């Protein structure tokens, strides 16, 4: 099967999923992001790499953080950016996804950054855009959120150097988490020593072990000796079904507290893709504590998104000063 | 019209015929096999040399969409597709719009069938009114109107008491129940098999238990009520095992499998290929192998198309929001013939699964070619290698994952009551 994300030379055409990308390509994304990471601290926070290009942030689902970091990334590359919250516009009037897309294509866009509530939506769009248009997946259903995974990888690499000796635990609603799926693929591709998932069975996909993870239902056992703890947002709407009895019980069993974190390695870092539900999946003392790198993740998000935008548009990027 | 089909390899599993035999037809019936009856003078001769001549195929599950969803298919277009696929009888579930729960809808279908006369259409009547699972439909009246069985289509009957009473009532009348095993809650939001692929793609899964929990309840109720029941399109290894065990215990049940479940698995979804969005979902390799085993040991009685044509837009979108189903009439025979190529079945066994065995499930005349039988006939070239092209389909729905597949074996003629309703030579190249 041909890889929709790559062109015939193996270069990135679209950025839809971590699956299908090899370690070299992921490392190049991280290195490219490194080269962009200082731009935010400069007096003029812009480089002219995408000058004259038009990028449309096509968000069928609400998101403040992801939308703003993609917008900022595009602007720092000097692209023209248009944000479309499609939830409140044409699709409400019955227009199909494809018709929305074609109307936008007629405005001669160069890139779509797509967020959608259905798994596979970004693939569908990538299959239907003209050959000169790139698509970046900003989160589709429960499937994939590759830029979030890569910013997490950048954060981990900055703190831990490399992946093979690491033990990483992902805690929470794995079943509905596109972030978790992408992180698992990214960690595995980068050769992480051990990937653990910690959750009750109701929040784990069946056959999740086929993704190459070790399953823990007991959080204390799962955290023992880990270098990285990634806590996931508990989607409150999941509480209404029969998946969990209460927030109180969830916090007691799976909430990240200082006491539970003490089981991890002393220099362990704590991550969270945000937004945080304090007192449900993580306590404030941990979210704001010395192990937390949550705000760094946000900063890295801009650099990663600049990197994938430049790479999918196949713009040569200056070498990173500290590329690893 | 008197017709001779000359030089063909006649395979009729019901009558244990498997050899070079000429076939003589008159007044829509078979009049002789082997030697012409005295004084027989054919008005038409079909050269079937190097070809297989068999009874016309009988398909237990095909949705024609009419009445109510003519944007997907009509009786005119879908019977043409059936004829092209060698199918001379097909059974349509009651979940049309309007639902087949009154004689008027049965009459409408019969009227259209007579209008086009390409394929015999046998409707299933609704088991409950409006398929709502609450009040029994008028099964007796529907049978009088021409329904060959009753079914609730893909709509599950959640209330076990209603199901028990439906079974008891159907048993009273001696009507066969066609059941689609589907728990109303398990996998309710799902769009693919709950397994390796759903875990990877983040698609909501339909567990195997969505099929087997419902199947288990229905088997127990069948045991209690004694109704004759047929389980449609089973998809999982455990379901095959359960049906096999129930048959061993003597329950009056039969089952079928779709041609596409015999060849595809969850892995064929690839990167969200909506043409592989079907209900029940494509399951694991292990499940597919068990379906093959169910054919080999006779747990299944029939291979069906589960034909569900859709308009182009129905498959255009993100995988979960596309409509499930495959347009399958034209791939029923070629997919089934593949089972001979990988030695799962012999050619005669494949033909039995497509002719006499489904006829027995329906309790109808047909499915074999003894003198006196209706001359419903399929002739196909078993040596023809061809590439399946969706753009050449006769069905209005060209939703198929088999585009580009290489097949061996292609229909050359279909005869309905001795009349040629499809001839490959007449097709525009």
pLDDT reported for residue A90: 58
Distance from CA of A259 to the nearest CA of B (A): 32
Question: Given an 8 Å threshold on Cβ–Cβ distance, is B320 in contact with A143?
Answer: no
Domain boundaries, given as residue ranges, for chain A: 14-144+299-313, 146-294
pLDDT reported for residue A203: 94
Domain boundaries, given as residue ranges, for chain B: 3-53+374-426, 56-362
- The number of beta carbons lying within 10 Å of the beta carbon of residue B4 is 21
pLDDT reported for residue A91: 60
Distance from CA of A112 to the nearest CA of B (A): 16
What class has domain A146-294? alpha beta
Tell me, yes or no, if A184 comes closer than 8 A to chain B by beta carbon. no
Q: Which residues contact B266 (CB under 8 A, 6 or more apart)?
A: B192, B193, B195, B196, B197, B198, B281, B282, B283, B284
How much is the pTM? 0.93
| Average pLDDT of adjacent 10-residue blocks, chain A of 324 residues | 87 96 97 91 89 94 89 96 77 71 86 94 94 95 97 97 97 95 98 97 94 97 98 78 86 96 98 92 96 94 96 81 44
- How many Å separate Cα A86 from the centre of its chain? 21
- Closest residue of chain A to B267, computed from CA coordinates: A1
Distance from CA of A241 to the nearest CA of B (A): 12
| CA–CA dist A142, B272 (Å, integer) | 13
User: ω into residue A254 within 30 of 0, thus cis?
Assistant: no
| CA–CA dist B344, B339 (Å, integer) | 5
Q: What CATH number matches the domain at B56-362, 1.20.1250.20, 3.40.50.300, 3.20.20.140, 1.20.1090.10?
A: 3.20.20.140
Find residues 185-214 of chain A whose CB sits inside 8 Å of chain B: 205-208, 210-211
| CA–CA dist B66, B78 (Å, integer) | 9
How many CA within 13 A on the CB side of residue B255?
A: 27
May I ask the CATH architecture of the domain A14-144+299-313? 3-Layer(aba) Sandwich (3.40)
Q: Which of B285, B293, B382, B284 is nearest to B345 (CA)?
A: B293
Q: Would A14-144+299-313 and A146-294 be classified into the same CATH topology? A: yes
pLDDT reported for residue A322: 46
Tell me, yes or no, if A96 comes closer than 8 A to chain B by beta carbon. yes
| CA–CA dist B50, B7 (Å, integer) | 8
A50, A74 Cβ separation under 8 angstroms: yes
| CA–CA dist B363, B31 (Å, integer) | 23
| Beta strands A228-231 and A269-271, pairing class | parallel
Measured between alpha carbons, how far is residue A310 from residues A38, A134, A136, B323 in Å?
16, 10, 11, 36
Measured between alpha carbons, how far is residue B366 from residues B23, B56, B371, B417 in Å?
16, 9, 12, 11
- The number of beta carbons lying within 10 Å of the beta carbon of residue A246 is 9
Tell me, yes or no, if B401 comes closer than 8 A to chain A by beta carbon. no
The list of chain B residues with pLDDT below 50 reads none
Mapping DSSP onto H, E and C, the string for B227-272 reads CCEEECCCCCHHHHHHHHHHHHCCCCEEEEEECCCCCCCHHHHCCC
CATH number of B3-53+374-426: 2.30.40.10
Does the active-site annotation cover B306? yes
Residue among B192, B194, B200, B285 with most chain A CBs within 10 A, to mutate:
B200
CB burial of residue A194 (10 Å; 0-12, 13-18, 19+): middle
Catalytic residue among B22, B101, B183, B306: B306
């Amino acid at each position: 099967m041909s890889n929709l994300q790559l062109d015939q030379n193996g270069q990135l055409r679209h950025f839809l999923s971590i699956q299908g990308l090899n370690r070299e390509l992921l490392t190049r994304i991280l290195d490219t992001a490194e080269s962009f990471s200082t731009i935010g601290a400069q007096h003029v926070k812009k480089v002219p790499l995408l000058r004259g290009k038009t990028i449309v942030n096509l968000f069928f689902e609400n998101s403040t953080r992801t939308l703003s970091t993609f917008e900022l990334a595009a602007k720092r590359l000097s692209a023209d950016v248009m944000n479309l919250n499609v939830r409140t516009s044409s699709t409400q009037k019955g227009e199909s996804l494809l018709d929305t897309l074609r109307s936008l294509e007629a405005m001669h866009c160069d890139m779509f950054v797509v967020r959608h509530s259905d798994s596979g939506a970004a693939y569908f769009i990538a299959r239907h855009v003209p050959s000169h248009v790139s698509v970046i997946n900003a989160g589709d259903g429960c499937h994939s959120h590759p830029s979030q995974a890569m910013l997490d990888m950048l954060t981990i690499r900055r703190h831990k150097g490399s992946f093979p000796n690491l033990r990483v635990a992902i805690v929470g609603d794995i079943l509905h988490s596109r972030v978790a799926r992408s992180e698992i693929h990214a960690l595995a591709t980068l050769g992480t020593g051990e990937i653990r998932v910690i959750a009750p069975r109701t929040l784990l996909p069946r056959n999740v072990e086929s993704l190459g993870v070790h399953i823990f239902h007991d959080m204390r056992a799962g955290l023992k000796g880990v270098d990285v703890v990634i806590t996931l947002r508990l989607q409150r709407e999941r509480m209404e079904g029969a998946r969990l009895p209460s927030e109180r019980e969830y916090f007691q069993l799976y909430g990240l507290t200082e006491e539970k974190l003490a089981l991890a390695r002393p220099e362990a870092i704590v991550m969270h893709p945000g937004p945080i539900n304090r007192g449900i999946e993580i306590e404030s003392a941990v979210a704001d504590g010395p192990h937390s790198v949550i705000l760094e993740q946000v900063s890295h998000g801009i650099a990663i998104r600049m990197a994938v935008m430049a790479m999918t548009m196949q713009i040569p990027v200056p070498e990173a000063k500290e590329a690893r | 019209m008197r017709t001779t089909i000359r030089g063909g390899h006649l395979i009729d599993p019901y009558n244990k015929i498997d050899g070079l035999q000429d076939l003589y037809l008159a007044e829509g019936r078979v009049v002789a096999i082997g030697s012409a009856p005295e004084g027989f003078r054919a008005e038409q001769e079909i050269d079937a040399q190097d070809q297989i001549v068999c009874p016309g195929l009988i398909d237990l599950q095909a949705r024609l969409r009419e009445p109510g969803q003519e944007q997907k298919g009509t009786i005119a277009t879908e019977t043409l597709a059936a004829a092209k696929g060698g199918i001379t009888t097909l059974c349509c579930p009651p979940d049309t719009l309007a639902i087949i729960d009154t004689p008027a809808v049965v009459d409408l279908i019969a009227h259209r069938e007579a209008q086009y006369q390409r394929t015999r259409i046998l409707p299933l009547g609704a088991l409950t009114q409006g398929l709502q699972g609450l009040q029994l439909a008028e099964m007796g009246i529907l049978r009088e109107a021409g329904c060959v069985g009753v079914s609730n289509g893909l709509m599950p009957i959640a209330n076990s008491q209603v199901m028990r009473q439906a079974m008891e009532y159907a048993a009273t009348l001696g009507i066969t129940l066609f059941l689609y095993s589907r728990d109303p809650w398990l996998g309710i939001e799902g769009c693919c098999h709950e397994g390796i692929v759903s875990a990877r793609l983040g698609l909501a899964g339909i567990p195997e238990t969505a099929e087997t929990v419902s199947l288990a309840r229905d088997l127990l109720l069948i045991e209690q009520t004694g109704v004759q029941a047929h389980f449609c399109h089973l998809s999982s290894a455990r379901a095959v095992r359960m049906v096999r065990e129930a048959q061993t215990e003597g329950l009056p049940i039969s089952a079928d499998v779709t041609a596409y479940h015999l060849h595809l698995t969850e892995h064929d979804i690839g990167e969200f290929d909506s043409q592989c969005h079907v209900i029940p979902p494509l399951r694991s390799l292990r499940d597919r192998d068990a379906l093959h085993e169910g054919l080999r040991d006779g747990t299944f009685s029939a291979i069906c198309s589960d034909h569900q044509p859709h308009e182009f837009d129905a498959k255009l979108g993100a995988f979960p929001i596309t409509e499930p189903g495959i347009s399958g009439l034209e791939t029923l025979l070629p997919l089934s013939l593949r089972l001979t190529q990988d030695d799962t079945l012999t050619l005669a066994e494949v033909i039995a699964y497509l002719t006499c065995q489904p006829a027995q499930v329906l309790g109808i005349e047909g499915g074999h070619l003894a003198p006196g039988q209706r001359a419903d006939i399929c002739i196909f070239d078993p040596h023809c290698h061809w590439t399946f092209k969706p753009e050449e389909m006769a069905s209005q729905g060209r939703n198929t994952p088999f585009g580009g597949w290489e097949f061996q074996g292609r229909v050359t003629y279909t005869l309905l009551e001795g009349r040629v309703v499809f001839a490959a030579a007449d097709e525009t190249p």
